[in-house]
Amino acid sequence: MKVQVQTLDAQGKGEIDLNDEIFGLEPRADILHRVVTWQLEKRRGTARAARERSDVARTGKKFGRQKGGGTARHGDRRAPVFIGGGKAHGPRVRDFNPSLNKKVRALGLKMALSSKVKAGQLIVMDSLTVDGGKTRALMGNLAKLGFGKTALVIDGDQVDTSFALAARNLHTIDVLPAIGANVYDILRAETLVLTRAAVEKLEARFNG
């Protein structure tokens, strides 16, 4: 499919031919859900485990008489009430590292890209160079382009330095290099903005 290419000044810069096998798929909610869930699970960190009664190396001998000692009837020194005893119901290490097949991950990314094309929320830019890297200059350009409330901008190997400087004060714009393209961020943004370099890198990523 062919998509119009624009400049930051909202001027036409020809067309680009997008690969239908990447940008023309029919999105499936179940695949997108699996990939997003996998991404969010991978982000989670686990607690540092505390030592419980079975982990503490202290005597298990009953250290006092059952009656007549004037103290509680403890059976060992591992009880949580003692200094150095095992913690009761302490934090445990949990596994937040689920697995997902590479083919499903790749398919999810293709479908996320395709969903933006289908919804008319994809903009292809010729380049991202901003004069002087000034935020004010970029804001004037964004008003003409119609980026929407939130936008994810994906560039080639590296994000254009002037655009990154201009956009870092704008909380509605996220910027990523092509290698960082992911399903969650693409779906979360109202508008997806790709440069020519990003399209080439993404197509090479799947065709390689």
Query: 188 and 136, same structural domain?
Result: yes
Q: Report pLDDT for 141.
A: 81
Q: Report pLDDT for 10.
A: 78
Give the SS3 label for residue 154.
strand
Q: Of 94, 123, 158, which residue is a domain's last? A: 94
For residues 107 and 59, give the distance between their C-alpha atoms in angstroms, rounded to a whole number: 57
Query: 197 and 129, same structural domain?
Result: yes
Query: 71 and 23, same structural domain?
Result: no
Query: What are the residues facing 16 on neighbouring strands?
Result: 3
**Number of structural domains the chain divides into:** 2
Tokens of 116: 């933006």
CATH code for position 131: 3.40.1370.10
Sort strands 12-17 and 173-176 into parallel, antiparallel or unpaired.
unpaired
Query: 69 and 35, same structural domain?
Result: no
Question: How far is residue 127 CA from its own chain's centroid?
Answer: 24
The domain containing residue 137 runs over which residues? 2-45+99-207
Q: Report pLDDT for 144.
A: 81
On whether the CB atoms of residues 28 and 112 are closer than 8 A, the answer is no
Q: Report pLDDT for 180.
A: 93
Those residues with Cβ within 8 angstroms of residue 103's Cβ, 6 or more apart along the chain or in another chain: none
Query: 123 and 63, same structural domain?
Result: no
pTM above 0.85, yes or no: no
Query: 111 and 181, same structural domain?
Result: yes
- 10-residue block means of pLDDT along the chain (208 residues)? 86 88 94 95 87 88 84 86 90 85 95 94 89 85 82 92 90 93 95 93 87
Q: What is the DSSP letter of 133?
A: G
